[in-house]
Amino acid sequence: MLDNDFTHVFKNQKILVTGGTGTVGRAIVEQLLTYDPKVVRVFSRDESKQFAMAHDLNHHPKLRFLIGDVRDAKRIQYAMEDIDIVFHCAGMKHVPACEYNPFEAVKTNVIGTQNLIEAVFKENVKKVIFTGTDKAANPTNTMGATKLLAERLISSANYYKGSRAATFTSIRFGNVMGSRGSVIPLFRRQIEKGGPVTVTDGAITRFMMTTRDAVTLVFMATALAQGGEVFTLKMPALRLGDLIDVMIENLAPKFGYDPSEIRIEQIGLRPGEKPYEEILTQADAENAYENDFMYITPPVLMKGEFSSHYPGCRKVEERTYTSNDFPLLTREEIKDLLESEGLLEGKDGLKSLLMLHKVPDIEVIKELLAE
């Protein structure tokens, strides 16, 4: 388990988390509270989720809940008053919803991000971290395209900020296990009902990461960011068919079914969906660097030798990086991973995905943060 201490980054800081009641946003908020910030403002549209979150966190004295939408430029500016660090997690993230409502995705993911950038300038925020998606690499759907444009807006903000101190950086996530955008809760509900389990295609491959890993990546990027980079965790990949088989084998008996009774139904790719995911395109790789646990892609406007910013980095091989290019998790590894997140009602304790896949230990990370 990685037990990172980012107190030196967040202690006494005033922090805003947009989309703070979502899966990743809430996990960020909960972890931030352990690092002694001055205040954490949770900004979202959903009052019911805010009410539940406040109750779950025992009405923590350093939490403030703000109703609002990033589409509303004035509201996001008011929410950002006197803030030091912004985690921008708000966005439309479901591929079909964005595909059938494309301009709604533009208004939230693109215009909302630009509203946030302009509010950062007006309120003299020091650091902004945008949480994006691997679907922004060579996008084939509206969600990915709007997230790529949001990435570019965040990166370019470093170049027209003038004398302002703000640093902007982006992060590409894979599928966060157990989140509302993940297939895992859907598969679980279908198994609980006795099937069938519907899958686009069992041969599809996807990158997967735990919520814990997502938060670790966000905080490491906050500490390491020079401005304009895109950080991407080196995530393991799996085949959806293997994921389904593991879930059926382990969950069906708990819901009173024989695993052989649960039927699997292939329904074909959804509009805009790819049979694999990409984390770096060929164009990204021409300028990207890596260390043992993440890829770092400098902004297209950055000149000079990027590795000088991070002495421990090395240039990546110039190729496309897809979920088909990496060793796929075995079914036993998938089972361990699901159990670590409590998604199979498994063993007590957590086994970190980061440690499973050869990410350096805390001492290595501390050395990188100290440079």
Q: Supply the pLDDT for residue 362.
A: 43
The pLDDT of residue 46 is above 50? yes
- 48 pLDDT exceeds 90? yes
What is the reported pLDDT for 308?
59
Q: Is the pLDDT of residue 260 over 60?
A: yes
pLDDT at 369 over 60: no
CA dist 204 and 308 (Å) reads 38
The rounded percent of the chain whose pLDDT value lies above 90 is 54
Q: Does residue 49 carry a catalytic annotation?
A: no
List the structure tokens of 289: 């660097």
Mean pLDDT for all residues in the chain: 86
pLDDT computed for residue 181 by the predictor: 66
Q: Summarize the confidence of residues 146-174 as an average pLDDT.
A: 91
Question: Mean per-residue pLDDT for 158-165?
Answer: 85
pLDDT of residue 355: 34
| C-beta of residue 264 within 8 angstroms of C-beta of residue 247 | no
**So what's the pLDDT on residue 311?**
63
pLDDT recorded at residue 353: 33
Q: Which residue has the higher pLDDT, 306 or 278?
A: 278
310 or 305, which is more confident: 310
pTM, to two decimals = 0.86
Q: Which two tokens stand for residue 186?
A: 């859907």
Catalytic residue of the set 14, 93, 127, 135: 135
Among the residue ranges 32-36, 87-91, 233-237, 331-335, the one predicted with the least confidence is 233-237
pLDDT over threshold 70, residue 360 = no
Q: Which residues of 207-234 are buried (b: 16+ CB within 10 A; e: fewer)?
A: bbbbbbbbbbbbbbbbbbbebbbbbbbb
Pick the more confident residue, 134 or 101: 101
Q: Specify the pLDDT at position 244.
A: 95
Give residue-wise pLDDT tens across range 185-234.
Answer: 889 999 999 999 999 889 999 998 888 888 888 888 888 888 889 999 88
Q: Where are the domains of the chain?
A: 7-370
Dist. CA 40–CA 11, nearest whole Å:
11
CA angle 297-303-306, nearest 5°?
Answer: 45
Instruction: Measure the CA–CA gap between 136 and 24, rounded to whole angstroms.
Output: 18
User: How far is residue 265's CA from residue 198's CA, in Å, rounded to a whole number?
Assistant: 5
Looking at domain 7-370, does it have CATH number 3.40.50.720? yes
